[in-house]
A and B are shown apart, each in its own frame.
Chain A
Amino acid sequence: GQNIDQPTEMTATEGAIVQINCTYQTSGFNGLFWYQQHAGEAPTFLSYNVLDGLEEKGRFSSFLSRSKGYSYLLLKELQMKDSASYLCAVVDTDKLIFGTGTRLQVFP
């Protein structure tokens, strides 16, 4: 079966850096996605990792360690508009399985 864990909620201050962790257990790992979802809206793609290491894209970076079943999403120079849920999703064989998401609140 699959198991994906990420913190339920996090808070941070505008301009700061926040790291959202995700751990997973799957039988047929084929990559890990991060999506952003504002309340009541559709998820939007942030990153995809299939090999170990860090992928950087502007203010957002994503890291993967397949041996540890671990990923994190790093958000730098936080802005108020970054307040949203961040969904970790793992490709298990041929299905994309989402975690329950981390709700991030950014305060001024």
Chain B
Amino acid sequence: DSGVTQTPKHLITATGQRVTLRCSPRSGDLSVYWYQQSLDQGLQFLIQYYNGEERAKGNILERFSAQQFPDLHSELNLSSLELGDSALYFCASSPDPSGRPYNEQFFGPGTRLTVL
């Protein structure tokens, strides 16, 4: 158990819909990272938040957005869903005090999204 929690574990929805994925980091970690993992691709970095503010952006689509709340939990919002958005979505937290990815990241168990 990494100490990072993600809900829900599984999500099945239809094209065009909107969903919200939730992540709670390990106690004391200020950084939250979001990743997408499809069958034919590796882990794709989406976005990072550090202490409530966006810190780095990867290959995140405009239909996707995220935020980090004062209690440090984070939500990833996916809208106008397409079949190709079906994937495993991981969040990770890190204790790096600089807010940079120079430390080990602790991954949550993931949310498996299926878009039908």
A→B interface (CB under 8 Å) = 30-31, 33, 41-45, 48, 50, 87, 89, 91, 94-101
Contact = CB atoms under 8 A, between A and B. Distances in A.
Contacts of B103: 48
B109 A94 contact: no
A96 B109 contact: no
B2 interface: yes
The size bracket of the interface on B is: 20 to 34
Nearest to B98: A94
A45 B105 contact: yes
Contact of B42 (A30, A41, A87, A94): A87
B55 interface: yes
A96 B104 contact: no
B94 to A, nearest CB: 9
B18 interface: no
A30 B33 CA distance: 17
B62 to A, nearest CB: 18
A-side interface mostly: strand
Given A91-B100, A99-B42, 13 more contacts: A33-B104, A42-B109, A44-B2, A44-B107, A45-B104, A45-B105, A48-B103, A50-B102, A94-B56, A95-B45, A95-B58, A96-B101, A98-B45
Contacts of A42: 2, 90, 107-110
Given A42-B2, A42-B110, A96 B105 contact: yes
Contacts of B43: 43, 87, 89, 98
A28 to B, nearest CB: 11
8 contacts: A43-B90, A43-B107, A45-B105, A96-B45, A97-B45, A98-B42, A98-B44, A100-B42
A69 to B, nearest CB: 18
B41 interface: yes
Given A87-B43, A100-B42, A48 B104 contact: yes
